[in-house]
Amino acid sequence: MQEKSTLLSEIKRRRTFAIISHPDAGKTTLTEKLLLYGGAIQLAGSVRARQNQRRAASDWMELEQKRGISITSTALEFPYAGCQINLLDTPGHQDFSEDTYRTLFAADAAVMLLDSAKGVEPQTLKLFAVCRQRGFPILTFINKMDRPGRDPFDLLDEVEKVLGIAAVPLNWPVGSGSDFKGVYETRERQLHLFDRVEHGARRAPVRVANPSDPALAAVIGQDLQATLLDDLELLNAGTDFDMARFLRGQLSPVFFGSAVTNFGVQLFLDRFVELAPPPDDRPLLDGAPYPVDEPFSGFIFKIQANMDPAHRDRIAFMRICSGRFERAMAVTHCPTGKPVRLSQAHRLFGQERIPVEEAFAGDIIGLVNPGVFSLGDSVSAGPSVAFEPIPRFAPERFALLRMANPTQRKPFVKGLEQLSEEGAIQLLFKQAGDFREAILAAIGPLQFDVVQFRLVSEYGVETHIEPLSYSCARWLREVPDALDGSYGTRLVYDSGGHPVLLFESDYWRDRFAQQNKSIALFATHREAELSRT
């Protein structure tokens, strides 16, 4: 009994979320500031300043550093106000959106980060759509208020119209750009005055004032005070915050701030821990919820090879769905029914690995993967479970990859197998399993660059790549006897030997479908399999 209530109180402390944004909105900056306020780092900016040594703690891959883009996802954790916050870092670049989709699958909430000058951008829109499907809560942080931006009412309007979600401000900005004076907090009904802090290395000092105090005019100016009072009247007439709608993903609380100067970060975090939900029962394959206080269970949402050149191993990231994890515990690998001992479990902070003694539902642990785990696999210390499947997406870009030096076949095959196991790319073959002419299939072309780069840096294999003109892949249930009207079409095989048709365009796919009505086409192998039952 005592044990159960300790378990539940530990689980209730967890807040597991991811940030979704368009590149450049300030995700890295906000992440760093959340870590600063959570006490996980002492001096934000020091992390950036030591760029050559370490870059941002969540930003470790050499290619990312060269290109200044965030590709890989890492899980960061820090305590705040009695809660344990697990922040799943997602790649910002659209070519890695599948990785992001998988990460969102392991989260219980998302923070949508917008640039106040740009509002809702294309990548935000795409990722928002995935959150919407998950039906989980989304908080909005409108960033860069210290820069000239758009009218805040306009921004709220855009969120409501473009995303179709109610937007309810829980704080309200006073001025913007060089005139940015602070934010009004709607619950406490107090104005938090902004002091520009150089680079926001430390926590921002905060002064609090009453918005209708006549003395305030001397601090923020008469005009801004009058505008604030007008705005507040308008806001009071707006929608109220409704927790139930928020939890269903129908309403988003909105916060304004400036991550680079730390302003608004603490106000945001204080409300975040109150609003964001703790881990809940997780749906199984058949839709039934699996209680969070059942014995330990979890699923693999990400696999990453060679995270640390010194270790040269693969890490499988697991989201714990129920119960308590203990170091070296014996569990069942549900897809095979085989027993596995989880002896090497880590938390990862940038490149640092910290052994995990215990963890609870909602936490993310990195398991050294001895080839047992694949994406989506469940493990359990209790009954065998299968959680709802992680979505896979049909690739849209294809390229032929050949090794520059044919004597390197072994590391070439190993590298490609491991990278495809991570889900970074899919592998297709002209002849099943023939690596001499492997076809890479991906969502975006940057994934090809990453594969080539990693093959050199991690496996020592130089390659040549030749883009192919296909733009669409469809899985088949079986190899057809004959293909009619197959112009612009090619039959290939995935790494499991299953037949796949490549099409040069949606036009050729549709035409093919019309001419071959007996051949069913599926966006993924999984869909083709499910259609058999």
Collect contacts of 428-431 with beta carbons under 8 A, ≥24 apart.
428/398, 428/473, 428/492, 428/493, 428/494, 428/495, 428/500, 428/502, 429/492, 429/493, 429/494, 429/495, 430/492, 430/493, 431/493
Number of helices and strands in the chain (H, E) = 15, 30
The strand pairing partners of 20, in sequence order, are 112
The two three-digit tokens of residue 436, written as one number:
């001499």
Tally Cβ neighbours within 10 Å of residue 481.
7
The residue among 175 and 499 lying less far from ligand G4P, judged by its C-beta, is 175
| DSSP structural state of residue 278 | P
> Rounded CA gap, 381 and 462, in Å?
43
Judged by beta carbon, residue 203 or residue 327, the one nearer ligand G4P is: 203
DSSP percent split of the chain into helix, strand, coil, nearest 5: 30, 30, 40
Nearer to ligand G4P, 122 or 496 (CB): 122
What residues are paired with 297 via a beta bridge? 322, 380
To ligand G4P, the closest distance from the beta carbon of 25 in angstroms equals 5
**Residue number with CB closer to ligand G4P (139 or 365):** 139
Min dist. Cβ of residue 50 to ligand G4P (A):
12
Rounded to 5°, angle at Cα 330 from 325 and 333: 95
Q: CB of residue 337 vs ligand G4P: minimum separation in angstroms?
A: 42
CB-wise, 159 or 416, nearer to ligand G4P? 159
Q: What does DSSP assign to residue 325?
A: E
To the nearest whole angstrom, how small is the minimum distance from the Cβ of residue 46 to ligand G4P? Answer: 13
CB of residue 250 vs ligand G4P: minimum separation in angstroms?
26
Token pair recorded at residue 382: 């209790």
- Which residues of the chain form contacts with ligand G4P (CB under 6 A)? 21, 23-29, 48, 70, 92, 143-144, 146-147, 258-260
3-state secondary structure 440-469: EEECCCHHHHHHHHHHHHHHCCCEEEEECC
Least distance to ligand G4P, CB of residue 116, Å:
8
Least distance from C-beta 21 to ligand G4P, angstroms?
5
C-beta nearest to ligand G4P: residue:
26
How many whole angstroms from its chain centre is CA 59?
14
Closer CB to ligand G4P, residue 27 or residue 271?
27
Q: Which is nearer to ligand G4P, 67 or 132 (CB)?
A: 67
Query: Shortest approach of ligand G4P to residue 70 CB, angstroms?
Result: 6
Give the whole-angstrom CA distance, residue 533 versus residue 523. 17
DSSP state of 298: E
Which residues does residue 320 pair with via DSSP β-bridges, in sequence order? 298
By beta-carbon proximity to ligand G4P, the closer residue of 118 and 477 is 118
Question: CA nearest 452: which of 410, 406, 401?
Answer: 401
Given the complex with ligand G4P, which of 69 and 303 has the nearer CB atom?
Answer: 69
Minimum separation from the CB atom of position 30 to ligand G4P (A): 7
* Token couple for 269: 């975090």
